[in-house]
């Protein structure tokens, strides 16, 4: 189960990817705008990946690969055939890849996979209002602000709002 973008390849996560995921989850810069929870052992991250790597309709987890190097992960989850709606999560863990267009290409490629292969009607997400780079990427791909959740994310003693965003199948188009 792979999906090819212009810059990235989305591929199934492997057990050997757990160490990179564990490293990213413990990097404060990577986790800046993420709900990070509590520190996890490498063994717990391996268990989580083993559970998720089965890739079922309701939970599809991809590694974001650039020239054979894992740089992040992207996930479509919560999908139900009855509703045709899934939620998207993404992060790039390799900071030297930030700002290179990989995130935009990964989101676009995952959306194409969701709409074409999974036959989704809608993809949703939330993004912290302070994460302007991610908000820009989502709008660039075609996501629309649908609402605002007030003060639901806390970082460095400050409360932040989150935008809820959505993209409908007939609104999605690849760049020309």
Range of the domain at 143: 3-171
Closest CA to 69 of 90, 96, 43: 96
pLDDT of residue 138: 97
pLDDT of residue 51: 77
Residue 76 lies in a domain: yes
Residue 7 lies in a domain: yes
pLDDT of residue 55: 83
pLDDT of residue 67: 96
Residue 59 lies in a domain: yes
Residue 15 lies in a domain: yes
* Cβ atoms < 10 Å from Cβ of 11: 16
Total domains, the chain: 1
User: How would you list the strands of the sheet with 69-80, edge to edge?
Assistant: 3-4, 9-12, 59-66, 69-80, 85-92, 122-128, 158-168, 144-155
pLDDT of residue 174: 66
pLDDT of residue 39: 80
Here the CATH number for the domain that contains residue 92 is: 3.40.630.30
> DSSP code of 56?
B
pTM given for the model? 0.93
pLDDT of residue 175: 62
pLDDT of residue 105: 98
Residue 176 lies in a domain: no
Residue 114 lies in a domain: yes
Residue 68 lies in a domain: yes
pLDDT of residue 62: 95
Distance of CA 46 to the CA centre of its chain: 19
pLDDT < 50 stretches in the chain: none
Residue 154 lies in a domain: yes
pLDDT of residue 63: 96
pLDDT of residue 45: 87
């Amino acid at each position: 189960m792979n999906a090819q973008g212009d810059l990235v390849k989305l591929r199934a996560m492997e057990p050997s990817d757990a160490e990179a995921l564990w490293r990213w989850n413990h990097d404060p810069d990577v986790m800046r705008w993420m709900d990070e929870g509590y520190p996890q052992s490498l063994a717990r991250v391996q268990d989580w990946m083993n559970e998720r790597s089965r890739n079922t309709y309701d939970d599809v987890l991809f590694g974001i690969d650039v020239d054979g190097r894992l740089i992040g992960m992207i996930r479509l989850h919560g999908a139900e055939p009855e509703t045709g709606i899934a939620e998207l999560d993404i992060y790039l863990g390799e900071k030297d890849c930030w700002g290179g267009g990989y995130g935009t290409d990964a989101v676009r490629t995952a959306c194409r996979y969701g709409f074409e292969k999974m036959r989704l009607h809608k993809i949703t997400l939330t993004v912290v209002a302070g994460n302007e780079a991610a908000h820009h990427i989502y709008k660039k791909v075609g996501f629309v602000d649908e609402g605002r959740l007030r003060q639901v994310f806390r970082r460095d003693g400050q409360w932040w709002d989150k935008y809820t965003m959505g993209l409908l199948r007939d609104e999605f188009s690849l760049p020309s």
